[in-house]
Every structure is written in C-alpha cells, then in structure tokens.
Amino acid sequence: MGFTLRNARCLAADYVRQTVCPGDRVVDATMGNGKDTAFLAELVGEGGHVTAFDVQAEAVTRTRESLRGRGLLERCTLVHGGHETMAEHVAPGVRAVMFNLGWLPGGDKRMTTRVHTTLAALEEALSLIAPGGIVTVCIYPGHEEGNRERDALAQRIAALDVRVFNALHHRFVNARQDTPELYLIQRNDPDQDGK
C-alpha cells in the first residue's frame, strides 16, 4: 500500500486518527454537515464524547439526523452556538479540537466563519487541549474572509510559545493560491520529554 499526499481536510483527519483513543473527549468546532462530528464520534467510541458547535440551525439539524442514522448521537452534544463559547460547554483536558473553516457546504456562502470569532475560538481550544492533544485548523482562502482568517491565524499561531506548543503549517506550494491549508498545533507533553 502506497502513500498518497492528500488535501488539508484528509491530513487533519490522519493526525486526529493518530491522536484520539476510545474514551477521549474531543471537539468539532465547526459542525457543518456533521462529517467531522461523526468521524470523531466513531474514534472516541461509546465511552468517549464529542461536543460540536455551529451557529446555523440547519447545520445542527443535518448533523443530528446524520448521527442518529448512524447510531452515534448518544455520544455527542450538539451546541447551536458559536465556537468562541467552547469553554462554556467543554471542560479542560480534551484530546483533539477540529476546525474546518468557511461556510456550510450547500448552504448560504454569505454565512461564513469570521476572523474575530475564529481567533477567540482558537484561544479557547488552546486552553482546553490536554498535553499531547492536538488542534487542527483547515483554512479556506480564496474569498475575502477566508484570506483574513489565513493571515490572522498565521500571525497568531507563529507567536505560540514553543515551550507549550508545537505548530506545523501544511500548504501545497505548487497549487492555486486558494487551495485549503492546514495548521496542526500540539500541546507539549512534559511526560514525553527525554523519552
């Protein structure tokens, strides 16, 4: 079986798959159609829990129906609210937080994530993540707000304290300028130092 270099969303899923174990608590910061929520719910198993956020009622409804149809709804909490309220709904110690920025697939493209709430949500995610846990952020440049998010996130993530976090930026260098990009942030685990 060979290796295939795939898009930002697939890379994010690969990292999360390597990090999350059954019984973990995780967050889908941008529910959308519920694909990441279902993916996370399968990873955490019956003993784990997913908390997912979206400001659009349509996204919550679609996700609830999808999860119910797959028998995964019991292990999920769906929050009809902004991801910048994450800390109000989630206790510290989560294993992974996934952001898939932009608009609801098949929805109103005028309704998109916004730089000020995205940055606030990232701060909350960083405060909640357990040692060894990760935050993945898929960015969609190519539209005005997506470009602003990319620029603001690049600046904020580059400023993270390397004693606390490691951060990696995946960008396809031979692709169009609007190709999705991925940031991967991991909270350092002091127990792994020197091992």
pLDDT value of residue 50? 98
HEC sequence for 62-106: HHHHHHHHHCCHHHEEEEEECHHHHHHHCCCCEEEEEEECCECCC
Please name the residue that has the structure tokens 């260098």: 173
Mean pLDDT of 5-33: 95
- Rounded Cα distance between 172 and 178, Å, is 10
pLDDT value of residue 195? 45
**How do residues 28-81 score in pLDDT, each as one tens digit?**
999 988 999 999 999 999 999 999 999 999 999 999 999 999 999 999 999 999
pLDDT value of residue 77? 98
pLDDT value of residue 108? 61
**How do residues 150-179 score in pLDDT, each as one tens digit?**
999 999 999 999 999 999 999 988 888 788
pLDDT value of residue 117? 93
Is 171 in contact with 153 (CB distance < 8 Å)? no
Output the CA torsion 51→98→165→169 (10° steps). -170
**How do residues 83-142 score in pLDDT, each as one tens digit?**
999 999 999 999 999 999 986 565 666 677 888 999 999 999 999 999 999 999 999 887
CB atoms near residue 17 (< 10 Å): 12
Q: Classify strands 129-139 and 94-100 as parallel, antiparallel or unpaired.
A: parallel
Q: Is the dihedral of CA 9, 14, 16, 21 positive or negative?
A: positive
Please name the residue that has the structure tokens 């190519």: 142
- Rounded Cα distance between 139 and 157, Å, is 13
- Rounded Cα distance between 8 and 5, Å, is 9
